[in-house]
Structures are given as C-alpha cells and as structure tokens.
A and B are shown apart, each in its own frame.
Chain A
Amino acid sequence: MNIALIVSGMLAVNALSGTAQDGTTPPDRSTGAATSAEQAVADQDAAADVQVNDVDASPYPRFIEDRSIKGTVRCVGSSSVGLMLNTVRTAIRDAQPGIELIVESSGSGAGPKALAEGKADLALMSRAMRPAEIAEIEKARGAKVGYVDMAVDAIAICVNRANPTTRISLKDLDRVFGRERRRGGGPAVVWGDVGVRDTKLSGARIELFGMGPGTGSNGIVSEIVLDGGPFRTSVNEEPVASSVVQAVATDPLAIGYCSSYFEAARVRQLEVEALDGSGFVAPTEANIRSGRYPLARSMRIYYVDDPKAFSPAARQFLRFLVSEDGQELIADMGQKALGPEQAHHHFDKLK
C-alpha cells in the first residue's frame, strides 16, 4: 500500500502551487517563512514528490488535505457500505487527521430516517433511495438531497459448472424467474426451455435460487429483468449472497442471482444480454463500470445539500472517498471501484 507516499506527493504538489483548490487555507509548508537551508531541503523534497507524482500519475481526482477542517462525521445505514467505511476509517485518519468517523451499521432502511431526523450526516445505501424517502428528508430538513457513488457492483447470474450454458437473454431470464413474464414468452421450466440441448439437463427441471425481498439484488433483478414484475414462488430464498453461490455450486440444475463479488470454483457467471440488445456481456469490472452489463448497481452515500446540514468535515470525507486514494482502498477490498470519469463527476459535485 503506497497511500502515505501518494498523499505526501499530493501535499507537495499542493505546497508548490501555493493554493488550495477549494479555497481553504493552504498547508503550512507553503506559507511559513523558511531559511535558505530549509528552503533547499524543501525544494529537494518537492522535486522528489513531483517525481513520485509523475510516476503515479492517475486519472482519478486527487485528494488534498486541509488541516483546518476538523469534525465528526456520523454515518448511518447499510452494513455492507458501513463495513467498507470501517476499512476506510484508518486511512482518513492518516490523510485528514482532524476528521473522526462514526459508523453505525443499522441497515439501508435506517439511513434515510437518521438523515431526516438530523441524527446522521451521511446515509449509507446499498440501493438507490426511494422517492418517498427522499421526499421525507427534503421535507424534514428543508433542503435537497444529494449523493455520491463510492463503488459499483453487479448482480451476476450463475449456474453450476456442470451446466453447459454460458449466456442468457433478458427474456429467457424473465421466463425463468418471472411469474408474469412481462417480457413475453412461455414459462421456462426445464433447461431445454432456455436452449440447453443434447445433454441430460435438457429435460431436467430448473432449480431457482435468489435473495429475499428488500435486498438490493432482488430489487435490481425485479426491476431490470422482470420489468417490475413479481418472482415465481418457487424461487428458493437464501439469507446471504454466498449462500446463493453455494446452492448453485451443489446443484447442477440450479440457476441463481447474487452479487458478482461472490464467486466459486464450481460456479459459472453467465453473460447477460445487453439492454440495447447489442449482444451478450460478461460481468467484468470494465463492463460494469461502463454500464454495458445490464445488472449493475452503485453503493451510494446520501447527504443533505445545505451548508448548515452538510458539514465541511462530511464534504471532505466524501472527497477522500471518491478520490484516487479512496478508490484504491475500495479496489483493495475486492470491490469494484468507480471509473475515473464517474469519480470526477462525483468529486466535482463536492466543490
């Protein structure tokens, strides 16, 4: 991990420029009176820092430390997102010592409520906030609600390794999982119904596995694949994503959906037909970031976009999260980081 090195490089660049991008007070190093000897050392350090920066040139936004910003940031909501923030907490202490992070993992449903009541500065969501939730916050706080994406994820459609299937269309997925089959066609009950031929699977019943209602995975599949329709009652609901993967791993007749983060040697993630019908797309990081893979989602953090409610500390923390340093941490966790353009887009919101 070269976070400290990168951060020191950024500090050096900032010191050389003598200005802060957000107009706050520049770091002490650039403004203090220095002797010639000190200046020589500083010049050498700056030269070295610039060299490091050149080597580590990144398309992601750069985080700039501002030691004048101090304060506590209260985060309430999704446990999945909260877990990632717990990992980030140590890094933000190093990069911005004046900021203290408090994370309460109480579920995505708790985030909007805490934000509306003023008990949280940031609401952590593993799904998009519902319009009703946003409206309630705006009504309570008297200001608009903003958000930044901190990571992306995708829902993978997976089958057992013994199953020869490698790709599936959205229509076939609807025929497999959907009760109403809003995309058309008859129900797909056996593997032969979705194109499996010349194997003993073709006449075998398809076993369905997925997540329960209210989960992000369930919502995305319902919205994008089933076109808002309901799931079949024969879907076996698993408590967590890794259980879905293992259920598929132990059953050659199974098909399931869960976060692409969870993989297994006995499971194959299928290519899924693109929304525009341009072909089949694998759930690779590039395809997820580019949006070509149809079942992508974002890990999102909401805030009240008002100077009184949105503290400088909270803003600075979010800057760090979508910067090069924050995204590197997310990638180290095995999560899918934002693309550079996405990162800049959200970083710019925070100016």
Chain B
Amino acid sequence: MRRSTVLLSLALTTSVLAAGCAAPGARAAPRREKPVTDSTDFSRSAAGEKISAEELDEITNAFADRYRTLMEDAVAAIVKNNPDARARATAQRFLVESTTSAYDIVTNGDPFSQVLDLNIMVTLTSQVWIDDDRATREFGPERAESLVYSLRQAREEIWRIASRVFLPDQLAALDFMIASWRRDNRGVEDTSFVRFDDFAEQRGEGLIRDVASGGGLFQPLNQAIDESVAYRKLGERIFYLAKRMPTLANWQTQAFADEMLAKEETKRALANLDGVSRSVESLGATVTQLASDVPKIVAEERTAIFAEIDRRQKDIDSALGQVNAIAGDAAKAAADARAIAEGVSPMLGDAQKTLEAAQPTLDAIQKLAETSERLLGKVAEIKGPPVPPDLNAPPAKPFDIADYQKMLGDATVALGEANTLLKNADSLAGSKSVKGLIDEVTQATEQRIESLEHMVTRVVYLVGAIAAGVVMLAFALLFAYRATGARAGARSTKGGAA
C-alpha cells in the first residue's frame, strides 16, 4: 500500500476531530489568492540558489490549497444555473478527482516527488482540458472559460515552483517527457492520478537521479536528521489532510448526488417514453374493444339508467311527502300564530304582520308541491311502466343515436323541472317570511316564559315578605308577653313585701 494511502486512511479517522476547522458543507467562498510563488523565484533559480526539502514541502502544500481554490472557482462557475445535469456531474467529478489527487501528492513524504508529481498531474490535466479542448466539448465555449483560466493559472504556478528545483535543461526534459507520455497515451483523458512512476522508467531515471541527489536546484535532506524530520512531517501531513478531508468528503457527496441526478433524469426520460408507448397501445386496444362492445354497452347502460330512475323515484316520493308535511306544519303554524296573535294581541302587537309575511311562504310551498307533481309526471312519461328483465330475450338492437334523441330532450325538460324544484326548495328555506314567522313564534314563547318567571319571582318575594312579617310579629308578641310577665311578677313581689 502506498504511504499516501495510509495517510489518507489515518486522516479519515481524525477528520471528525478536525470537523471544527472545516465543517462539512461549509463551502469556501470563491476567492482569488496570491500565487504561492512570485517573480523572485526565477531570479533565485537563475542564481543557482538551492531549495531545501522543508521549504519545498511548504510550497507544495500551499500550492495544493491554491490549486483547490482555483478548481473550486472554476467548477462553481460551470455548475451555476447550469441546466445540463451531465455537465454538472462531470464538473463535480473533476473537482473531486483533481483536488484529491493534489492532496494525495502533497501528503507524500518526499518533497521532490511531490513537485514532480504535481507538475505532471497539473500539466497533463491542463493539456487534456485546454490543449485537447475537452473543456469546450464538455461545458460549451462560455462555461469552459473559467476552467481554462484556472488550469492555465495552476499550470503557470507549478512550473514556477518546478523552476526552483530543476535547471532549464531539466525542465525542458521534463516537458518533453510529459509530451512523450501524451503521444504514447492518446485518448487518455483521466490523468488526475498519473504519476512519475507511471512513466517509462528508462526515460526519467537519469533525470530523477541527478536532481533528487542534488544535481539540480534541490537540496536533499541531511541523513542525520532525516528520521526525526520524517516523523514530524508525518504528523503534520496527517493533520494537514485531516483538516481538508471534510471538504473533500462534502464534494464527493455532491459529486455522487450530481451523478445520481443525471442518471435519474435519464431514467425518468425513458420512463416517460415507456409511458407514452403504453398509453398509445392502451388507446388502440380501447378503440378496438369499443367498436365491438358499443351495442352491448348501450343496452346495459339503458337498463342501468332506468334502474337508477326507479331508485330516484322513491327518493322523490319521500321528499314530496316531507314537503307536504312541511306544508301542513306550516299551515298549522300559521293557524297557531293567528290564534296566538288573536289571544295575546296586547303582548304581540305585530301578529298581523307575521301572518301577512307567512303568506309568500305558503305560496312557495304550494308552488313546490305543484312542481314536484309535474316532475313525477315527466319521469313516469319517460320511463313507462317498469318491465322486469327478460333473460331469454334476444340481444338488444345495435346502438342507434336516434333512439336517444327524444329521451335526451325529455330528460332535459325533466332536468329543468328538477332545477326549478331545487330552486323553490331553496327559496322556501331562505324565505324571509318563514324566517320571520319562526322568529315571531320564538319571541312570543320566550316572552311568555319570561312573564311566567317574573310572576313566580314576585310570588316568592311576596311569600317571603309575609313570612318575614309573621316572624317579626311573633317576636314582637313574645317580647310583649315577656315584658308583661316580668312587670306582673314585680308587682306581686312588692305587694308581698308590704
């Protein structure tokens, strides 16, 4: 297992601790950072100044973060308001793979290999997406620009870093080596995890041996301090990656979601297509079936309609009876009201008005009754006498729309009558006179009850007052009796003494 893979595993276990540093889902705001190298790098390399392993390690770590920012900005621009689910998924997958690759490289223990692999990875990636024009093919010319810009920027920066490690001729050789790999691997587009080890060994071993052993601008680690530095760097690398792991995990999740979304859309489109096909097939079958079944269906429907009319007639009869009862009750109520009005005219001064108001209600009830009778007459006319179903009868004649024209006209008239009935019933229920009548009766009853209660209260008060008076009189008589008794006793005592 590669050392970087072990580090990745360790980092995963510690990522929970590091979550406070970079919470999952906390997407960094797009920003432009200062490049990790500047123009002084060329002058330093030109002067032959060697770079230490520790310094190079710091630079490559900083570059990995810089690379992540550049790619994140580019992908954010690509996916923003992008309706193409496949393009979004491709961009998100690119972000995850390229960034994970950069972090995988910089957690390698050897800074020289780091810069070499970073250089190869970034250069190949930029060549695939820019030189081979994959960015335009995947995202279109406008959205591709952000990725082209970011990859170009990253490539310039990593070559600046490389120029601090390699001499110009060595840089040219490295460039040639990468170009040769591309020629040998035409069509390979997933280059994020191509490493120097994947190159033909004989082409690069001299270059590596020369530069890694100090033949270029790289100052190898002193063997005496190599072990202690390696252990310290190991710990640093674990925490370095652990801090970034939540973000990577978040992107990985997003990439997975985007890919699923893209697949789901495809599935849905296929499902819709199947649905349309099924609908067309179903429609065709229905039309065929209908053509053969129409006469039978019409006969069955006719029987069902008359059965329904029979059932409805019972309901209508019941409703008519209720209406008649209401009408009777209403007449009785009117008579009662009239009696009340006559009997309690002093107390109900406007009974006459109530009686007058009830008259339209009575008219409406009468009209309702007449309408109901007409409707029943129509139904009976349409239906004719009920005929029990004959199981031995020959099949009904084929459907003929002319047979239903008259029935349709009669049914329309019946429907109009039914509407009138409903309107009259509504009119009755909402009639002002009925409401007024009910209110008057209620009011009269309440007044009578109130009057009775008042009378009872007065009697109770009167009886109470009389009782109180009797009690007081009794007490007065008792007091007078005692006083008289006491005075009589005193006189007898004085008389005895004398």
On A, residues with C-beta under 8 Å from B are 78-80, 82-83, 86-87, 89-90, 103-109, 126, 212, 214-215, 239-243, 245-247, 249-250, 261-262, 264-267, 333-334
Contacts and interface: CB of A to CB of B under 8 A. Distances in A.
B176 A83 contact: yes
A267 to B, nearest CB: 8
Nearest to A103: B206
B123 A105 contact: no
Interface in B161-201: 162-163, 167-180, 183, 200
Category for how many chain B residues contact A: 35 or more
Contacts of A105: 169-170, 173, 206-207, 210
A96 to B, nearest CB: 17
- What 7 A-B pairs come out closest when comparing CB atoms? A79-B173, A107-B169, A264-B131, A240-B175, A79-B169, A334-B183, A265-B133
11 contacts: A79-B167, A82-B173, A89-B202, A104-B215, A105-B173, A105-B210, A107-B167, A239-B171, A240-B171, A250-B152, A267-B131
A166 to B, nearest CB: 19
Nearest to A212: B168
Contact of B205 (A86, A261, A334): A86
A20 to B, nearest CB: 29
B95 interface: no
A113 to B, nearest CB: 13
Interface string B450-469: 00000000000000000000
Nearest to A333: B180
Nearest to A85: B206
B145 to A, nearest CB: 9
Contact of B178 (A126, A239, A242, A247): A242
A80 B131 contact: no
Q: Which residue of A126, A240, A261 has the most chain B CB atoms within 10 A of its CB atom?
A: A240
Contacts of B131: 245-246, 249, 264-267
B130 A80 contact: no
A86 B133 contact: no
Given A79-B207, A83-B173, A266 B155 contact: no
Interface residues of B: mostly helix, strand, loop or mixed?
A: helix
B148 interface: yes
A80 B172 CA distance: 6
Contacts, number: 112
A317 B201 CA distance: 21
B435 to A, nearest CB: 85
B202 A87 contact: yes
A243 B176 CA distance: 11
A31 B23 CA distance: 81
Contact of A79 (B160, B163, B172): B172
Given A83-B173, A105-B210, A250-B152, A214 B168 contact: yes
B445 to A, nearest CB: 98
Given A212-B168, A215-B168, A264-B127, A83 B159 contact: no
A181 B200 CA distance: 45
Q: Which residue of B127, B174, B177 has the most chain A CB atoms within 10 A of its CB atom?
A: B127
Nearest to B45: A239
A97 B175 CA distance: 31
Contacts of A82: 173, 206-207
B496 to A, nearest CB: 152
A212 to B, nearest CB: 7
Contacts of B149: 250
A265 B132 contact: yes
A333 B181 CA distance: 10
Contact of A243 (B148, B159, B168, B169): B159
Interface in B194-244: 200, 202-207, 210, 215
Contacts of A243: 155-156, 159, 175
Contacts of B163: 239
A120 B287 CA distance: 95
Given A83-B176, A86-B202, A264 B132 contact: yes
B155 A261 contact: no
A31 to B, nearest CB: 34
A80 B207 CA distance: 10
B179 A266 contact: no
Nearest to A79: B173
A203 B267 CA distance: 51
A328 to B, nearest CB: 16
B433 interface: no
A257 to B, nearest CB: 15
A64 to B, nearest CB: 25
Interface in B48-64: none
A104 B210 contact: yes
B160 A239 contact: yes
Nearest to A266: B133
Contact of B170 (A107, A247, A250, A266): A107
A214 B168 CA distance: 9
A89 B205 CA distance: 12
A251 B202 CA distance: 36
Contact of A108 (B152, B169, B174, B206): B169
Given A250-B149, A334-B179, 6 more contacts: A82-B207, A83-B176, A107-B167, A239-B162, A239-B168, A261-B179
